[in-house]
């Protein structure tokens, strides 16, 4: 599974977004170190504070399936943004803990703009306790 394929998986996941309030659909695809892909989309709610982003949906699905922090190689995220999508602060915090600081993060949009970054670069100075310590 290369970067291009993972971005395509994120795009497919985006089509499952439940976003009747914002109408802003986001998809994510999380590649595990052992080659499995978990998908996520944003899932909104009439009680707006309960909206869950695509990034966290994918990470939570992988954890619920038995994967552990540090088991992941790459997280790809896609939305219909001008430039590569920018994950929200809540997701940056979850990405750094469940994905580990070194997780590769591929941010993209429907036009094909791509930014390759890392969990730690997305959240400088993060509050982080190593879950494996």
Ligand X SMILES: O=c1ccn([C@H]2C[C@H](O)[C@@H](CO)O2)c(=O)[nH]1
Which residues does the annotation mark as catalytic? 55
CA-based torsion, 33, 90, 124, 105: positive or negative: positive
From ligand X, Zn ion, none, interface partner of 97 (C-beta below 5 to 8 A by class): none
User: How many Å apart are CA 70 and CA 48, to the nearest integer?
Assistant: 31
Q: Does 84 bind ligand X (CB under 6 A)?
A: no
Per-residue contact string for residues 13-42; x = within reach of ligand X by CB under 6 A? ------x--x-x-x---------------x
Asked if 106 contacts 3 with a C-beta cutoff of 8 angstroms, the reply is yes
Question: Toward Zn ion, which CB reaches closer, 41 or 91?
Answer: 91
54 binds, among ligand X, Zn ion, none (CB under 5 to 8 A by kind): ligand X
Q: How many chain residues interact with ligand X (CB under 6 A)?
A: 16
β-pairing verdict for 114-118 and 72-79: unpaired
Q: Which is nearer to ligand X, 22 or 130 (CB)?
A: 22
Task: Give whichever of 1 and 43 is closer to Zn ion, judged by the CB atom.
Answer: 43
- In this chain, which stretch among 8-16, 59-67, 79-87, 124-132 interacts with ligand X, using CB under 6 A? 79-87
The residues near 25 (Cβ < 8 Å, ≥ 6 apart) are 14, 15, 17, 19, 41, 42, 79, 80
Kindly tell me which residue out of 8, 11, 16, 51 binds ligand X, with binding defined by CB under 6 A: 51
User: What are 56's two structure tokens?
Assistant: 């966290």
Q: What is the C-alpha separation between 90 and 67, in angstroms, rounded?
A: 21
* C-beta separation of 41 from 56 below 8 A: no
Binding-site ranges for ligand X (CB under 6 A): 19, 22, 24, 26, 42, 44, 51, 53-55, 77, 79, 85, 87-88, 91
């Amino acid at each position: 599974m290369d970067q291009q394929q993972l971005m395509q998986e994120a795009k497919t996941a985006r089509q499952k977004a439940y976003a009747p309030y914002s109408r802003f659909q986001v998809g994510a695809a999380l590649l595990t170190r052992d080659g499995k892909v978990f998908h996520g989309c944003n899932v909104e709610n009439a009680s707006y504070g309960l909206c869950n982003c695509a990034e966290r949906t994918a990470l939570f699905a992988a954890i619920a399936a038995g994967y552990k922090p540090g088991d992941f190689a790459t997280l790809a995220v896609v939305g219909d943004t001008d430039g590569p999508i920018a994950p929200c602060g809540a997701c940056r915090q979850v990405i750094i803990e469940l994905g580990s600081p070194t997780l590769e993060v591929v941010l993209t949009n429907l036009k094909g703009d791509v930014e390759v970054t890392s969990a730690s670069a997305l959240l400088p100075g993060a509050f982080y306790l190593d879950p494996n310590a």
